Amino acid sequence: MKIISDIQDLRDQLRGQNRAVFIPTMGNLHEGHLSLMRLARQHGDPVIASIFVNRLQFGPNEDFDKYPRTFEADVEKLEKEGVYVLFAPTEKDLYPEPQEYRVEPPQNLGKILEGEFRPGFFEGVCTVVLKLFSCVQPKVAVFGKKDYQQLMVIRQMCRQLALPVDIVPAETIRAEDGLALSSRNGYLSAEERSEAVQLIQTLKEIQEKVLQGKLTSADILKIEKDACAKLNARGWVPDYISVRKRNDLLSANDADLSSNQPLVVLAAAKLGKTRLIDNLEI
């Protein structure tokens, strides 16, 4: 595996590779990331990964400096997965001057859910992903469905900007008890780790209630409110638990519910100092 930090060196290395498949990461790799590498091989060749902790998507009170950086261990894992090139730019490589040009998603997608609680997050994500796509010029890119809203934002950005990149979604990889794998799980204490499974359990309970059918939008609101109260009583601090339409992440009205629109329930909540997110399609 070649490790490259310079953009021009990367382009020279990948010249003529018109079926490259790309997986952008922020490092601290776990089995969820590695599953993306394996899926990528089914959609193109060669496989290109990147590691870059993107300052633009961190808010002023978030954990940019504390975000775990495990580069040597990450390299070893990527080599075992047969990754062809690891693009690992420094901030000076990727942002040699202040990144004044930004990509802002539309408000009806970028300012709801995660966008509401993490202002500027999706602008930072879109900006760095567009720049990484420009550097790598892949045919295909793979993104996990654990970050459900992010996947939709990136997919719509590619469509509206006519980017020649096919976005492939990957199913969420979970621990044996159901907890979605995440780099931030490492922040959890042993006690918190045992409690963390309650997030997916809550989503499964909501899924079961919705699948029983004949619910109104008022019923959905009560289910969401009750779920937040239940987690709150266990010591969580929920940002949101929300049932949305899969196609646009807007709330489902009575007509949507009666016509069996495909739905997804999304959640974000803090357990101690760690903020966890998850989702479940309905």
> What are the DSSP calls for 70-110, one per residue?
-HHHHHHHHHHTT-SEEE---HHHH-SS---------HHHH
Residues contacting 126, CB < 8 A, separation 6+: 102, 103, 104, 105, 153, 154, 157
Q: Which of 33, 131, 244, 275 is catalytic?
A: 33
Catalytic (active site) residue 33: yes
Element (H, E) at 264: strand 263-271
Place of tokens 């060669």: 46
Distance CA 241, CA 206 (A): 10
- Catalytic residue IDs: 33
